Amino acid sequence: MRICGLFRDGTLPGLAFVLMLLALSAGGTEKAVPAVAQSASLAGQFLVATDELRDPRFVRTVVYMVEHDARGAMGFIVNRPLGEVPIAALVERSGLDSKDVSGDIRVHYGGPVDPGRAFMLHTSDYAIDATHVVKDGIAVTSHPEILRAIGTGVGPRRSLFALGYAGWAAGQLEGEIKGGAWVIVPADEALVFDENSEKKWERAMARRTITL
């Protein structure tokens, strides 16, 4: 499956306006590379950027993978928070009723692809038709109803709201891993949703297996 953004028209004018007021921005494009042999799916694991990866969009990033197959791969950077915005404003811009919605939500830079699209990573205790369970109690939902649920106190236990995503064409990610740009480590709820983003890279890198 290919996960779509939360907002139906593929744009996010309301949130873009709020983020502009906060002087926040994100951007970038994919770069295709020749395909290489397909490996086992990395969905549900972390990609951790090594010091070999100098692209400023990915320096010391931790990416939670949600899709990986012969067609390509998709994940979300989980350690680059941008700021906070009112949940009610997002709900209203998505066309839903914002009655009884309160609180703010932290926005994260999810990756350089489609920075105007929004996604919600969350614990799988919450699920609707648009929810895709990835692995080990972590899911992603592609409908703004989850924002209203969070704002009214009936949403998932833990969540991470991201703008954009990290995407790779067929074989591209395998080539980057082979070139030493990424290491693969186990992912879990505790680290995905940890609010101490500054320590996520170090904690994730500590999980790597050293081959002697």
Distance CA 169, CA 194 (A): 29
pLDDT tens readout for residues 154-199: 999 999 999 999 999 999 999 999 999 999 999 999 999 999 999 9
In which residue ranges of the chain is pLDDT below 50? 1, 7-38, 212
| Cα torsion 3, 4, 5, 11: sign | positive
Residue 198: the pLDDT is 94
Distance CA 48, CA 61 (A): 6
Residue 116: the pLDDT is 86
Distance CA 194, CA 209 (A): 22
pLDDT tens readout for residues 112-124: 999 889 999 999 9
DSSP-derived secondary structure letter, 209: P
| Cα torsion 40, 35, 192, 144: sign | negative
Q: How many CB atoms lie within 10 A of CB 105?
A: 18
Residue 94: the pLDDT is 87
Please, which residues bridge with residue 49 across strands?
182
Amino acid found at 66: V
Query: CA torsion, points 125, 126, 129, 135, in degrees to nearest 10?
Result: -40
